[in-house]
Amino acid sequence: MLLRSTGLFVALIAVAFAAQANNLDINLGSNAASINYSTNLTSTGLEGDIGYLHHTDSVDIGNVGLQVVGDSNPAGSPFIFAVGGKLFFISPKQNSGNGTVLGLGGRFNYTWPSYNRFHIGGELYYAPSITSFNNADRYLQYSVNAGYEILHNAELYIGYRHISAAFTGTSTLTLDSTFMVGLNLSF
């Protein structure tokens, strides 16, 4: 799993230097840390990302994804949406075995027009049993956040994240459920 994730990360980095639009998101919870790197792959809104979450008590999760990003209004909108999919590599610390899932979903971001340094956002990815492989049976990840742009390319935010999954022979396990503080850098 680590070798596959590393190879995908290197491929995204190579494409990122050509695309010249990158985001690095780092957040910390009481027992969890997450890092996510995303980049525009085309000028038409295709975005790729790679990420990793470590929870000290329950799980390690790596992911790679592709989303289409944009707003629904040609004149511009304070809402930005992304829809697509992510491949999650799940390694729980319980004896339920590893799993791989293809989660479909997306995210949104709303920036107040009259106070454009403040935003709210969220994401949701779901994988039913039909897109769950190895020992995984289903997967759900969602989060909400509120942030403030402290510099043109740096934003601080607070939020909440919940991740749950079911594996062969187990009921649904909560892998992460935490409040977090984060930093998002654009370069």
pLDDT tens-digit readout, 33-90: 999 999 999 988 999 999 999 999 999 999 999 999 998 776 677 889 999 999 999 9
| b (16+ CB within 10 A) / e for 73-100 | eeeeeeebbbebbbbbbbebeeebeebb
Pairing outcome for strands 99-111 and 79-92: antiparallel
CA 104 to chain centre: 12
| b (16+ CB within 10 A) / e for 127-138 | beeebbeebbbb
CATH of the domain at 45: 2.40.160
Q: What is the pTM of this model?
A: 0.86
CA pair distance 117, 99, nearest whole angstrom: 39
**Of the candidates 85, 99, 100, 102, the residue with the CA atom closest to the CA atom of residue 48:** 85
Residue 175 class from Cβ within 10 Å (0-12 exposed, 13-18 middle, 19+ buried)?
Answer: buried
Mean local confidence (pLDDT), 24-30:
96
**Which is more confident, 78 or 164?**
164
Written as six digits, the tokens of 96 are: 């339920």
Residue 7 has pLDDT above 60, yes or no: no
- Average per-residue pLDDT for the chain: 89
- Tell me the per-residue pLDDT of 111-135, one tens digit each, with 9 for 90 and over: 988 888 999 999 999 999 999 999 9
**Containing domain of residue 55, as a range?**
2-186
CA pair distance 32, 27, nearest whole angstrom: 8
Q: Domain count of the chain?
A: 1
